[in-house]
Amino acid sequence: MTDVGIGERLKWVRRSMATWILLLLVLLVVASLVGVSWTLGLFTSSSANPHNVVSSGSMHQVNSADNQAIMDAPDMVPGDSVEGSASIRNVGDARGDFTLTVEDLDDVPGPGGGVLSSRLRLQVTERGGNEPLYVGPLDALDADLGSWDPEEERSYDFVVTLAAGDATADNALQGSRTTVTFVWNAVQGR
C-alpha cells in the first residue's frame, strides 16, 4: 500500500470517527431521556415482609350496675334522699373521653298533677373526690368525667333528694313517679 492510500484512509477514519462519536453521544442522550437504566452489576437481592395485618381497636366499657337501676326509692316524701353507686371501667383498646348524661326521663304525674322530676335534685361524686361532679336538677345531668386510659376504672356515688317545698306544692307530688336512664358515654380520646 502506498502512503497516499494510507493517508486517505486516515482522513476517512477521522471523518467517520467524528460521526460515530456524535452518533454515540446522541444515543446516550436519547437513552437518558427515555429513562433507560443500564447496569453492569450481576448481583441481585430481594426480601419480603408478608402477611402484614392492621386491625382496629374498640371502645368498650364495663358497668358494675349494667342494665340495673343504680337506685330505687319508692314512697319518698319531701326531704328524703336515696343513694346509689356504680363503677365503670374502660375495657376498650383506646383512651376514652367519658361523660354521664340522663336519657329517657319519664314522668307519671300523680292525682294532684305534680311532676316529680321538677323537684328531684341529683348529686354525683367520684368516689375519693373532694367536690361533686354534678349538683342540680335530675333531668339536666350532663357531666364531663374526663379522659380515661384503657383498663382505668372509676366509681361514682349518686344522691337523689326530693326537695321540700310548701304544702300545696308537696301535696301535688303525691303518687307521682319518675323513671330515668343514666347513660355513660365514651368517645375515643386523643
Q: Which amino acid is at 138?
A: L
Does domain 61-188 fall under CATH 3.20.20? My reply is no
Residue-wise pLDDT for 141-165, tens only, equals 999 999 999 999 999 999 999 988 8
Q: Cα 42 vs. chain centroid, distance in angstroms?
A: 52
pTM: 0.70
Please provide the DSSP assignment of 84-119 as one string.
Answer: EEEEEEE-SSS-EEEEEEEEEEEEE--TT---GGGG
Boundaries of every domain in the chain = 1-34, 61-188
Residue-wise pLDDT for 38-68, tens only, equals 555 577 777 877 877 776 667 788 888 888 8
